[in-house]
């Protein structure tokens, strides 16, 4: 009961947002590494996909990820409205503070980018996880490589996906350093360094996902 009350406070809410956010960043890193196997050919990529879905732990892991994702989103929205309630009169003009400050366009649009990601994830799952199941020469192995390549032959989908990854990168740009600061692991003298590290990680993750559809569209054709 005391733990629940502690997590319901503003400090507890920020800690939950931070820990769940960093857990999702870890998932994104692993997901990106797996997706990059696509460039090693269909056998490697399809074997990776099959290893994931055939793992007996896949269902509890997916349930855990959904719970973390929804908890992160729910607490972030709650925190946003609580902060607005504490300051009902909005600023007339928002500006980046410059210097070592964490205020930026990415930080002031966190709720918007977060809601976009919340809507994008089901669309992404519907397209790939629940999309057409092409067979391969290996019995029971789904040709996820073919599906991915076919999806990214559409210019409209490539543009949309690239735009979505820019939004994800923006969200990570502020979210990573903000989460570390909420957990109290950033000394004041290291603030600027962690801001740059957060930017670098956002560029690596967002940029990695960003480049995959572009590379497929221009250099890979369905077999």
**The domain containing residue 59 runs over which residues?**
2-88+100-219
Task: Report how far residue 203's alpha carbon sits from residue 169's, in angstroms, rounded to the nearest whole number.
Answer: 6
**Residue 131 has which token pair?**
């999309």
Burial class (CB in 10 A: 0-12, 13-18, 19+), 170: buried
The neighbour count for residue 209, using CB atoms within 10 Å, is 21
DSSP for 79-136, please give it. Answer: HHHHHHHH--SPPS------TT---SHHHHTHHHHHHHHHHHHHHHHHHHTTS---B-
Residue-wise pLDDT for 2-28, tens only, equals: 556 656 688 889 999 999 999 999 999
Percent of the chain with pLDDT over 70: 88
At residue 97, does pLDDT exceed 70? no
Q: CB-based contacts of 24: which residues, under 8 Å, 6+ apart?
A: 65, 68, 69, 72
The CATH number of the domain holding residue 71 is 1.20.1300
C-alpha–C-alpha distance, residues 13 and 208, integer Å: 30
Residue 141 lies in a domain: yes
Domain presence at residue 158: yes
In a domain, 143, yes or no: yes
Q: What is the pLDDT of residue 6?
A: 58
- Confidence bin at 139 (pLDDT 50/70/90): very high
CB 217 within 8 A of CB 155: yes
Residue 194's pLDDT is: 76
* Total domains in the fold of the chain: 1
Residue 94 lies in a domain: no
Q: Write down the pTM of the prediction.
A: 0.89
The distance of Cα 120 from the centroid of its chain, to the nearest Å, equals 10
pLDDT at 93: 47
Note whether residue 105 is domain-resident: yes
When the pLDDT of each residue in the chain is averaged and rounded to a whole number, the result is: 88
Average pLDDT of 131-137?
Answer: 95
In a domain, residue 95? The reply is no
């Amino acid at each position: 009961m005391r733990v629940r009350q502690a997590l319901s406070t503003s400090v507890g809410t920020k800690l939950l947002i931070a820990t769940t956010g960093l857990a999702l960043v870890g998932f994104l890193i692993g997901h990106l590494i797996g997706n990059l196997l696509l460039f090693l050919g269909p056998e490697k990529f399809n074997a990776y996909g099959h290893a994931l879905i055939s793992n007996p732990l896949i269902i509890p892991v997916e349930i855990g990820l959904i719970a973390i994702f929804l908890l992160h989103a729910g607490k972030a929205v709650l925190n946003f409205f609580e902060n607005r309630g504490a300051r009902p009169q909005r600023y007339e003009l928002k500006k980046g503070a410059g210097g070592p400050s964490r205020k930026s366009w990415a930080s002031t649009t966190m709720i918007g980018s977060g809601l976009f990601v919340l809507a994008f994830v089901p669309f992404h799952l519907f397209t790939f996880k629940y999309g057409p199941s092409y067979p391969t020469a290996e019995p029971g192995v789904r040709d996820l490589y073919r599906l991915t390549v076919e999806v990214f032959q559409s210019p409209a989908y490539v543009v949309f996906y690239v735009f979505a990854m820019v939004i994800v990168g923006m969200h990570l740009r502020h979210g990573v350093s903000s989460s570390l600061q909420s957990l109290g692991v950033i000394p004041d003298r290291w603030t600027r360094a962690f801001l740059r590290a957060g930017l670098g990680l956002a560029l690596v993750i967002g940029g990695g996902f960003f480049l995959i559809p572009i590379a497929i569209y221009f250099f890979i054709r369905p077999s």
